Amino acid sequence: MKQILLIGNPNCGKTTLFNRITGLNQKTSNLPGTTVEAYKGKIKIQGEDYQIIDLPGIYSLFSNTEYEQVVNKYLLGHSAGKPNLVVFVLDASNLRRNLLLYSQVAELGIPSAGILTMTDTANRRNITTNISHISKELGIPINGVNPRKDKNITSVLDIIKEAKTPKQLSTNPGFKERLELSLSGKKVKGSSEETLRRYADIDSVIKRLNDGNGIRLHFNTAKIDRCHPSCLGIGHISAHYASSFSRGFFIGRSSNGMD
């Protein structure tokens, strides 16, 4: 049976989407050696059976909690074999923050599809999105869904069948090896600087989307931007990088301040 991993940041609507897709055809269990619950369900698409796994919501692959460890094990094929595809759940109201995790997972080259959620929240914040532009930038098929309201999940199932190898927003040689090293509990050197380089590449994507009407950011949308770099799996960073981080981490903040 083919395996689908459902991946996204916390509070992006991922588990609500999982519940909508699987209905009652699901089960909950603790992942081996952890206290983290795993939600697994079965779905059928065009006569083919899939197992879909709702992984814990995380911001980055390089943080040392049980949640990141569990996600990494599944992505690297250590828990249930190599995954067949990934479905990214992307919060339209916090797209920049979401793209950090996307950029990391994309480097593993697993066929992927995207679901854009929270468009109602984005609209309330005066953020407009163009799904086709975002899809082109990321190189994967994307559909917009409101998991809380949309009862028809046909668009989700259709997008899964169209999964493609994602574009790499950032190129970091040896990334998979460093991920394996992190999973073994060893310290990974340079992960802080790598995260900052990723955000520079992500900002280029956001700028292209903004210039091409793919997304309009009228004020700061990423609550994580208010946090210390450690929230993103960034530990001790040099004064130079910390300065760069502070200067470059905010998007289009208006005179009204942050939401």
Specify the pLDDT at position 147: 85
**Phi-psi group of 68: left, alpha or beta (phi > 0 → left; psi -120 to 50 → alpha; rest → beta):** alpha
The DSSP bridge pattern shows strands 26-30 and 2-8 to be unpaired
- CA–CA dist 100, 134 (Å, integer): 15
Task: Give the domain extent around 111.
Answer: 1-259
Low-confidence ranges of the chain (pLDDT < 70): 24-35, 212-259
Specify the pLDDT at position 124: 87
Token couple for 98: 């979401």
Question: Any idea what DSSP says for residue 61?
Answer: S
Token couple for 184: 């073994």
Question: E-assigned strands of 10-153?
Answer: 26-30, 37-45, 48-54, 85-91, 112-117, 128-129, 142-144
Specify the pLDDT at position 98: 95
- CA–CA dist 181, 154 (Å, integer): 39
The DSSP bridge pattern shows strands 142-144 and 37-45 to be unpaired
**Sign of the alpha-carbon dihedral angle for 107, 55, 9, 196:** negative
CA trace torsion 44, 92, 147, 12 (10° rounding): 90
Q: Work out the angle at residue 59's Cα, subtended by the Cα atoms of residues 159 and 39, and round it to the nearest 5 degrees.
A: 60
Q: How many domains does the chain have?
A: 1
Contacts for 248 with CB less than 8 Å, ≥ 6 apart: 199, 200, 203
Specify the pLDDT at position 189: 83
Angle between helices 239-248 and 191-211 (to 10 degrees): 20
Q: In this structure, which amino acid lies at residue 258?
A: M
- CA–CA dist 94, 13 (Å, integer): 12
- CA–CA dist 176, 132 (Å, integer): 29
Specify the pLDDT at position 190: 83
pTM to 2 decimal places: 0.80
Element (H, E) at 98: helix 95-106
Q: What's the chain's Rg over C-alpha atoms?
A: 18
Instruction: Report the CATH number that the domain containing residue 42 is assigned in CATH.
Output: 3.40.50.300
On whether the CB atoms of residues 12 and 114 are closer than 8 A, the answer is: no
Residue identified by tokens 């339209």 is: 92
